[in-house]
Amino acid sequence: MPMHIHTPLIESRPLGALSGAAVWLKLDALQPCGSFKLRGVGHACEVRYAQGARHFVSSSGGNAGLAVAYAGRQLGVPVTVVVPQTTTERAKELLALEGAEVIVHGSAWHEANQLALTLLRDDSAFIHPFDDPLLWEGHATLVDEVAQAGLKPDAVVLAVGGGGLLCGVVQGLQRNGWHDVPVLAVETEGAASLHAASLAGQAVEIERITSVATSLGAKKVCEQAARLLQEHPVHSLVVSDGAALDACERFLLDHRVLVEPACGAALAVAYEGPALAAYENVLMVVCGGATATLEQIRQWRAQQG
């Protein structure tokens, strides 16, 4: 039995009224550890456990590490998570609650990742936060559930960090025969590594992460995500931190679910309206994120002026 749950698919009347489309929310914020990450991470951990791994190592600013910690607890496997200094106190508290060993290292994810790779023992498995076909296979189940519900969207809106969710959703679209369904891939200014790849024609490293949406903080998307820009109708969109933070607060008011700014980036596309006007049925991946509090979101908002 998979570790992730089959999440609700509901129509959002508030977002529909703003965008002119029927907006369907795939509420992966309701996964047991708070984000979509459990789909792919749970699958990867179960496969690695079956192959003999008895220690999981992860590098994550929050949600991927949280999913590894949850999966490890379910399987009875100790977990070490290396997080960068930008990680919120809330994220560290939640990781400790799941029983993980938490190590803080580096100014950004790539530095945390470098240390994580040195901690592997003979019986360890490294669970990458976004660049692993096992993850994509697990994330693709999100689209399978939408297909089972009888909805074929005209477009899918999702947030992009390292590209794991994008890879999984496109895999899900393709295995359900939906090669024609475009994906609107949204990032915040200051974390727009997919947008940089779309301009360069290949995965490239951006200079630094300056966005408050630290869950999107990969300086370079995985190669598979960059390839999908050529192989599937993927449209790169960029929103401001302010728009993402506003979307978090508005979504909390509209649907009583608190999400991180990374997820708010995707929601901002619906709250700002025009980008969805060309579509009739839009699937919005509410990817979630458990590591930001409302107080933190409001502090970030105040800093934005």
Side chain identity, residue 159: A
Average pLDDT over residues 186-201: 93
Q: How do residues 237-282 score in pLDDT, each as one tens digit?
A: 999 999 999 999 999 999 999 999 999 999 999 999 788 989 999 9
Give me the long-range contacts of 207-213 (CB less than 8 A, separation at least 24): 208/108, 209/86, 209/108, 211/241, 211/261, 212/188, 212/241, 212/244, 212/245, 212/261, 212/300, 212/303, 213/159, 213/188, 213/241, 213/244, 213/260, 213/261, 213/262, 213/264, 213/265
Say yes or no to pLDDT of 215 above 80. Answer: no
2 contacts 141 by C-beta, under 8 angstroms = yes
**How many angstroms separate the CA atoms of 170 and 234, rounded?**
9
Q: What is the pLDDT of residue 24?
A: 98
Helix (H) or strand (E) holding 117: none
Average pLDDT over residues 67-93: 94
Residue 300's SS3 state is helix
Under CATH, which architecture does the 38-130 domain have?
3-Layer(aba) Sandwich (3.40)
Average pLDDT over residues 156-175: 97
- Domains of the chain, by residue range, sit at 9-36+134-304, 38-130
Domains 9-36+134-304 and 38-130 equal at CATH topology level: yes
9-36+134-304 fold? Rossmann fold (3.40.50)
Average confidence score pLDDT of the chain: 94
Side chain identity, residue 244: A
